[in-house]
Structure 1
Amino acid sequence: MAGSGEVLLEVDGGVAIVTLNAPDRRNALTPAMAAELIATFDEVDAKPEVGALVIRAVGKSFCAGGDVATLTSAGEDPAAPEAYEGMGKIYDSFYRLGQVKVPTVAAVRGSAVGAGTNMLLATDLRIVARDARLLCGFLKRGMHPGGGHFVILSRLIGREAAAAMALFGEEINGDKARELGLAWESVDDAEVEKRSLELAARVAADPELARVAVGNFRKEVVNGAVAWDVAMQSERPAQMWSMRRSAQ
């Protein structure tokens, strides 16, 4: 598909491989890049031969969250139409990943921060490098979490661990992520993508079944006191307030 080259898509044996390709800014999300991601996920859903998706990244970071320039600009007036729409695109990109019609795997190397953490939390399964650095990072930036962060984090690792990471700023590595249930496996950096693709290929062998199974898996297993889409909207006013406060 045409685009800036910051989002790449290839299909190999029924597995869609989506690559974040903006290493100069550590794959931080801009509204334009987020829009490309959404279009890419739409393209994957339209390919009936695809039975799984792996999302990975080029460079030393999986995703450093929202692009600093985007956040700074939005902080000047978060309710301004352009800023509101731009932040919405970033939210929509990882929410859209969570709605992809096939099983999804995040191949996580390097660091994942803020919206980058939301990106990996949106997938069905995570394979993480042992030396990965995972942190929420919102409060450290002077921002309230956004994108339904509390819900999608706590439904994987529980209340106590979610509080430690989201409120108290605890950073974890891949081994700790596996221990907490945030990742299925922690492996050497060089093995992350190989293992992710191996798992994806297994379920992608029967694309039609994979799509039906993952739809019911999400309906039956994904839970929380508040639905993710509701949490996204309830967090947004607080995040907008925190961004505007930081810009003043």
Structure 2
Amino acid sequence: MTAAEVGLEVTDGVAVITLDAPGRRNALTLDMARELGEVVARVDADPRVRAAVVRGNGGHFCAGAHRALLDDVAQDPADPRRYADLGVVYDSFYRLGRLGVPVIAAVRGAAVGAGVNLLLAADVRVVAERARILAGFGAIGLHPGGGHLLLAAAALGRSGAAALTLLGQELDGPAALRTGLAWACVADDEVDAHALALAAAAPADPELSRRITASFRRSIGPSAVEWEQAMEAERASQMWSLRRRAQR
């Protein structure tokens, strides 16, 4: 049995979800993505929880999907098993984004590719001054996936999303704050505490917090239908780009 790579602690109604594979900068393997989805489901099912924080251990947030997973999918993207494997990665941040309580991302170090999707899935982002936020899909020959374009536009607007996704621009903490991607930019060693303080400000009554969050998700979006459509719209092109990269 493999060691757990996603930690969960619940204190005073705040769930802290920790990506814990620092040796690879918390890059998502298939097992880790599946575990993340399961942990999020546990949080959603816990009536004590009124807010959640997602963070990375070891100085980085998430370096995206692990290269070995992408290379495996690239061998035959139409293969049902490989197609489903990539869907597990999509599902991990989709579940986070549909969690029934407010979600705060505590972002230190690198957030790349699917790691950017993970922070975009959160409702609020606290970013370290020295964070490095880079979509990075095009730089490695990949089309974005997981509804990335929709999530980026929701957070950054059309121009900001274009800079991030079409032109491969990198954001540090101050730039993330300036563009509206981040709610707060603080020193690296203050990120977790600031995110926890925000989570603690959620209504003390978990049921009230969940009802407000449900109304927020219905009213503000992206709706579940929009996100699912965006994932499917991007998926075929991402599969094509994976296969194309493998053939070079």
In which range does the TM-score fall when normalised by the shorter chain?
A: over 0.9
Q: Which residue is equivalent to 2:131?
A: 132
Aligned residue-pair number: 246
Distance change >3 Å, CA 63–CA 210, structure 1 → 2: same
1:217 maps to 2:219: no
**SS where residue 203 of structure 1 aligns?**
coil
1:156-175, aligned counterparts within 5 Å? 156-175=155-174
**SS where residue 42 of structure 1 aligns?**
helix
The answer to whether the 8 A contact 1:98-1:122 is kept is: yes
* Distance in 2, Cα, partners of 1:49 & 1:3: 29
Distance change >3 Å, CA 59–CA 151, structure 1 → 2: same
**SS where residue 95 of structure 2 aligns?**
helix
TM-score (norm 1): 0.96
Offset of residue 3 of structure 1: 6.5
Q: Which residue is equivalent to 2:246?
A: 247
Structure 1 gap ranges (5+): none
**SS where residue 219 of structure 1 aligns?**
helix
* Distance in 1, Cα, partners of 2:2 & 2:174: 36
Distance change >3 Å, CA 82–CA 223, structure 1 → 2: closer
The answer to whether the 8 A contact 1:7-1:37 is kept is: yes
What do you get for the CA RMSD once the two structures are aligned? 1.4
Quick one: which amino acid aligns to residue 43 of structure 1? R
Provide Cα deviations, 1:126-179, integer angstroms capped at 9, x if missing partner: 000011000100000100000010000001111111111101110010111111
The answer to whether the 8 A contact 1:50-1:204 is kept is: no
Provide Cα deviations, 1:87-118, integer angstroms capped at 9, x if missing partner: 10000000000111111100000010000000
Offset of residue 206 of structure 1: 1.8
**SS where residue 237 of structure 2 aligns?**
helix
**SS where residue 216 of structure 1 aligns?**
helix
Offset of residue 228 of structure 1: 1.3
Q: Bigger CA drift: 4-13 or 198-207?
A: 198-207
**SS where residue 7 of structure 2 aligns?**
strand
* Distance in 2, Cα, partners of 1:60 & 1:166: 24
Offset of residue 204 of structure 1: 4.9
* Distance in 2, Cα, partners of 1:247 & 1:3: 29
Quick one: which amino acid aligns to residue 9 of structure 1? L
**SS where residue 18 of structure 2 aligns?**
strand
Structure 1 runs, 4 residues or longer, greater than 3 Å off? none
**SS where residue 205 of structure 1 aligns?**
coil
* Distance in 1, Cα, partners of 2:241 & 2:136: 14
1:181 maps to 2:180: yes
Offset of residue 222 of structure 1: 2.1
Distance change >3 Å, CA 83–CA 223, structure 1 → 2: closer
Offset of residue 60 of structure 1: 2.8
Q: Which residue is equivalent to 1:153?
A: 152
Q: Which residue is equivalent to 2:72?
A: 73
Q: Which residue is equivalent to 1:37?
A: 36
- Percent identity of equivalent pairs: 52
The answer to whether the 8 A contact 1:35-1:93 is kept is: yes
* Distance in 2, Cα, partners of 1:82 & 1:222: 31
Q: Which residue is equivalent to 1:24?
A: 23
Q: Which residue is equivalent to 1:50?
A: 49
The answer to whether the 8 A contact 1:14-1:204 is kept is: no
Q: Which residue is equivalent to 1:109?
A: 108
Q: Which residue is equivalent to 1:190?
A: 189
Distance change >3 Å, CA 223–CA 9, structure 1 → 2: closer
Q: Which residue is equivalent to 1:14?
A: 13
* Distance in 2, Cα, partners of 1:196 & 1:60: 15
